[in-house]
Amino acid sequence: PYDVEWKPFTSGPPLLDAVSSGAVDVGGVGNTPPLFAIDQGKKLKVVSAYSQGATGDAIVVPAGSPVKQVADLEGKKVAVAKGSSANYNLLAQLDDAGLSLDDVEPVYLQPSEGLAAFKGGSVDAWAIWDPFTSQAEADAGAKVLA
């Protein structure tokens, strides 16, 4: 009875931009992107929520990295999808370590770009969520920092 057209998005923030502009009617995202979007003045309505029962977000570093704890990220480049749940996790982890976003150099990239930057060594760490965490571990020998 309905003509459904699926549209792929790389993460929650671009999907919510599309919902807010009317380009798509509905979409599923993590818990953090709606908060960032609403804070930016986007008109959205949350119609449902669920729990996956796992955190899912992580900060990864390359194998052999001198970064051994979150505090070691000071002055380092960290890839993250702006407005994502991983963005929130990065902020929370930095705060717990006595740091702020001003203490690191955020590099705002979508997941596929983040993986390439991580594997290519142009960033020191990557704040991301599964399945990308597992992909970084499997493909690039990443170690979960937090």
pLDDT of residue 53: 53
pLDDT of residue 56: 79
The whole model's pTM is what? Answer: 0.78
Q: How far apart are CA 106 and CA 110, in angstroms?
A: 12
Q: With H, G, I as helix, E, B as strand and everything else as coil, classify residue 77.
A: strand
pLDDT of residue 55: 63
pLDDT in tens, 117-127: 999 999 999 99
pLDDT of residue 21: 95
pLDDT in tens, 11-20: 999 999 999 9
pLDDT of residue 52: 61
Residue 47 CB neighbour total at 10 angstroms: 6
> Domains, the chain, ranges and CATH?
57-144 (3.40.190.10)
**103 exposed, middle or buried (CB, 10 Å; 0-12, 13-18, 19+)?**
middle
Query: Do β-strands 105-108 and 77-80 pair in parallel, antiparallel, or remain unpaired?
Result: parallel
Q: Which residues of the chain have pLDDT under 70?
A: 51-55
Please report which residue ranges of the chain form alpha helices under DSSP H: 12-21, 33-39, 85-96, 111-120, 132-140
Single out the residue of 10, 14, 17, 52 nearest to residue 31, CA to CA: 52
pLDDT of residue 48: 86
pLDDT in tens, 23-42: 999 999 888 899 889 999 99
| Residue 60 phi, psi dihedral angles, 5° rounding | -115, 150
